[in-house]
Structure 1
Amino acid sequence: MKLVISITVIIFVLLFSVLFGWMLISEKKEDKLNRSSILGLTIAAFFLALLITLVLGIGLFTLFGSIKMTNTLFDLELNMKQVGFVFIAYLIFLSTVDNVIDFLVKHIIGENLFYLIFLLLIRTFILHMIGLIIGIQQTSSFIIAGVVSFIIFLIETYAILRKGAKEET
């Protein structure tokens, strides 16, 4: 849990710094910079960074929670160090390579149920391989990979169904 909170705080600090710097440069170009505008920029950057961090934090807690829940529910006997390694490795995969795979599969197959099932299988396989590389037992790695992939599958299915319902109205 400390790991997720630490990552979330780091994301907030980085976002706040980037947003504040970007807004400050924008104000300097327009020659509107004074003391009251710096306070306004700080408040605006704070709330924008907070909003983005909340969205990313929910995703981080979902990923970490699903790994931790699977460990507890199936009594996989992973210690917190292993859970942390799995979390970081899955996070890196899901934020980099997974997007490329998603893009390729979407353009080859199209956006339908088969696309989601195919992604579920690919994610399960790759996340299982990541778990094995980290050094988790084969059964534990497969169970965690399956649960995390299935949760992502459910979220994406909901998003596609919701998008379809909005297009019908």
Structure 2
Amino acid sequence: MTSIPFWLIQLIGLVGSVIAITSLQSGSRKKILSLQVVCCVLWVTHYGLLGAWTGALINCLGLGRAVVCACNDRKWAKSPLWLVFFLVCYAVSPLLTWDGPHCLLLGGAMMLTTVALWVHDMRLTRLLFLLNSPLVLLYNLIAQSYSCAAIEVVALTSFALAVWRFDVHKRPCNT
């Protein structure tokens, strides 16, 4: 067991979550991906300290995913094989760190996030983030990541707001 106070572990996760939910408000793919790197580092630390190894492993993969997605306009990173690679990794990760069916929730959520970060369609990116949020919320509750669970409710609201601001509200009305 770690000697780090539980409140500090929760604070580390909270900071990562706040960065994550505010990132989509930028409307910039590059900024979102840069902030994802910061979030992943904080979450690896947070989940590792909690002993939630699925969360830690999946966020380690998130670091690599963010780099590849940020560079997928370059030849070496354009291959759809990267997308397949990360989807397979996220599907297998919960099995490698298995401590119950709840691990599958985070694997599924990260598969949605991977597709969201891969595509260049910001509308689809925001929608997929919105869909992954309930899965992450449930995983966090079970893994005792209470700060991340609490902020995930805010994240869900933020993602819905981003979809509204950038996708629904700006759409021309059919009258």
Question: Relative contact order (alpha carbons < 8 A, sep ≥ 6): 1 or 2 greater?
Answer: 2
TM over 0.5: no
TM-score of the superposition, structure 2-length normalised? Answer: 0.31
TM-score of the superposition, structure 1-length normalised? Answer: 0.31
Larger Rg belongs to: 1
